[in-house]
Amino acid sequence: MAQASHTSHARVYWLTWAALLAVTLVMLLVDGAELSRGLLVTVLLVAMAVKAGLIAGNFMHLRHERSGIIWTVVLGLFALGVILWALMVPDAARIHDMVTGR
């Protein structure tokens, strides 16, 4: 039995596990459905972010960390993603158009 000072979080973990599997299943179903490319990419990226949040927040206990660590990890990685995206995607698209002559 759980001691009073350390209550078990097992319920949260199994729910997280079930949610992760459910989101993965949705992603596979969406991938097989006839969606437009833009919509598909959007849905998959949102689902990916949800899964990442579930793992980091519940399994890695990021939700219960000091707020300084939470903001460093979340904002730091988000800023990195935006910077890489803004620098690289337009350039890659430019080269793509140059090569394919569009």
Partner 1 sequence: MWWFIVTDGLLFAGFLASYGYARILSDNWPNPPQVFSLPFIAAMTFVLISSSATMAGAVDSAKRAEWSGAVRFVLATALGGLVFLGMQAYEWMHLIQEGARLNGNPWGARAFGAYFFLMTGFHGTHVLTGVVVLLSTAARAARRRSTATGVEMAGLYWHFVDLVWVFIFTLFYLL
**Interacting residues toward partner 1 by CB under 8 A:** 2-3, 6, 8-10, 13-14, 16-17, 20-21, 24, 27-28, 31, 40-41, 44-45, 47-48, 51-52, 55-56, 58-60, 65, 69, 72-73, 76-77, 80-81, 84, 88-89, 91-93, 95-96, 99-100
Residue 81 Cβ, how far from partner 1 at the closest point, in Å? Answer: 7
Element (H, E) at 98: helix 67-100
Residue 36 Cβ, how far from partner 1 at the closest point, in Å? Answer: 14
C-beta of residue 26 within 8 angstroms of C-beta of residue 69: no
Q: How many CB atoms lie within 10 A of CB 17?
A: 13
Residue 70 Cβ, how far from partner 1 at the closest point, in Å? Answer: 10
Residue 60 Cβ, how far from partner 1 at the closest point, in Å? Answer: 5
d(CA 83, CA 36): 27
Cα-based distances in Å from 21 to 11, 27, 39, 90, 94: 16, 10, 22, 34, 38
By beta-carbon proximity to partner 1, the closer residue of 6 and 36 is 6
